[in-house]
Structure 1
Amino acid sequence: MTGKTHLMGGVAGTIILIHMNTYDPLLFISAGAIGALLPDICHSGSKIGRRFKGLSKLINKLFGHRTITHSLLFLILMNMLVAFLTTNEGIRVGILIGMVSHLLLDAATKNGIKLLYPLKLTIRFPLTIRTGDKGEAVVMALLSLLVLYYSKDVLIHYL
């Protein structure tokens, strides 16, 4: 999936769950958007990889693409790191939701993910799409519709 689809996935994941918590909506949704980009730190051409090129190249050299950063291990490590860096639960949960949305979206691609890294098992959904093709455009459209539909909850909070 492309960065914009991952970004929309993180926003959709948090905006759908906004009514189930008391977190600050803009902070929660922003954290979801950031979390949705984090797993691609292993790819220097990704949105986040271009911002942190040195780190991105190092992670890619050590682990490759869609391995450790697309795993349950990375989710756990990032949860621990974010909990150490902030006491704001909305940020921590938002980042995790964004990361989970990223993993789900990449599991829907032909290449899949190494969810159980360090095991070399590739996880993918039975029906997959190619990054950048019409299938991804449909996914992006559906995520956009979800965001539009559920954004009323955020607007109500601020009105």
Structure 2
Amino acid sequence: MTGNTHIVGGIAASLAFAQISNDNPVLLVGAGVIGALIPDICHGGSIIGRKFSIVSKVVTGVFGHRSFTHSLVFLFLIGALLHTLLTNDSIIAGILVGMVSHFILDMATKNGIKLLFPLKITVRFPITTRTGGAVENLVFAALSLLSVYFGYEAFAGYF
């Protein structure tokens, strides 16, 4: 999936999570967008890969694309690191929810992800799509609509 789809996926997932948690929806969404971009640090052409090009080159050189940074091991390591460094549960939850949304969206692509890294098993859904194709545009539109719906629900009490 492209960066824009991951961003909207992070927003939708964070706002959906806000429905079942007492976390601050503004912090959830902001952190969810960041979390939705983090796994692609292994791709130099990604939004985050361009911002942190040296880190991206190192990670790509060591692990390759869609392996370690798209795995449960990485998710748990980031979770542990966040719990050590941060005290705000909304930010921690948002980043982790955003990362999970990224994993799910990339599992819908033909290349899938190495979710169980270091095992070399590729995990993908039975029906997949091509990154940047027409189906991804439909996914983007659906996630955008879900973001509006969940956003209305999450912020209805504020207005």
Shift of 1:158: 2.7
Matched, 1:50 2:50: yes
- Which consecutive segments of 4 or more residues in structure 1 shift more than 6 A? none
Corresponding residue of 1:65: 65
TM-score, with normalisation over the residues of structure 1? 0.97
Matched AA of 1:49: G
Secondary structure in 1 matching 2:83 = helix
2:75 aligns to what? 75
Give per-residue Cα distances to partners, 1:68-99, cap 9 Å, x unaligned.
00000000000011111101111111111100
The AA in structure 2 aligned to 1:84 is T
Alignment of 1:89-100 (within 5 A): 89-100=89-100
Q: Kindly indicate whether residue 118 of structure 2 is the aligned counterpart of residue 118 of structure 1.
A: yes
Give the residue type in structure 2 aligned to 1:152: Y
Shift of 1:103: 0.3
Could you tell me whether the CA contact under 8 Å between 2:19 and 2:150 is conserved in 1?
no
Taking the aligned partners of 1:124 and 1:25, their CA distance within structure 2 comes to 30
Hey, what's the Cα distance between the residues in 2 that align with 1:125 and 1:20? 26
TM-score (norm 2): 0.97
Mean Cα displacement is larger for which, 15-24 or 56-65?
A: 15-24
Equivalent position amino acid for 2:135 in 1: G
| Percent of residue pairs bearing the same amino acid type | 53
Once the two structures are superposed, what CA deviation does each residue of 1:21-62 show, in whole Å capped at 9, x if it has no partner? 221111111111110000000011100011100000000000
Letter of the structure 2 residue corresponding to residue 77 of structure 1: L
**Letter of the structure 1 residue corresponding to residue 43 of structure 2:** H
Counterpart in the other structure of 1:32: 32
Q: Say if 2:40 and 2:69, in contact at 8 Å, map to a contact too.
A: yes
The answer to whether the aligner puts 1:5 opposite 2:5 as a matched pair is yes
Q: CA RMSD in A?
A: 0.9
CA distance in 2, matches of 1:124, 1:85: 32
1:19: how far off? 2.1
Q: Which runs of 5+ in 1 are unaligned?
A: none
How far the C-alpha of 1:20 sits from its partner, in A, is 1.5
Residue 141 of structure 1 corresponds to which residue in structure 2? Answer: 141
Give the match's secondary structure for 2:115. Answer: coil
- In the TM superposition, residue 153 of structure 1 has moved relative to its aligned partner by 2.3
In the alignment of these two chains, the number of paired residues is 159
Amino acid in the other structure paired with 2:106? D
Could you tell me how far 1:157 is from its partner in structure 2?
3.6
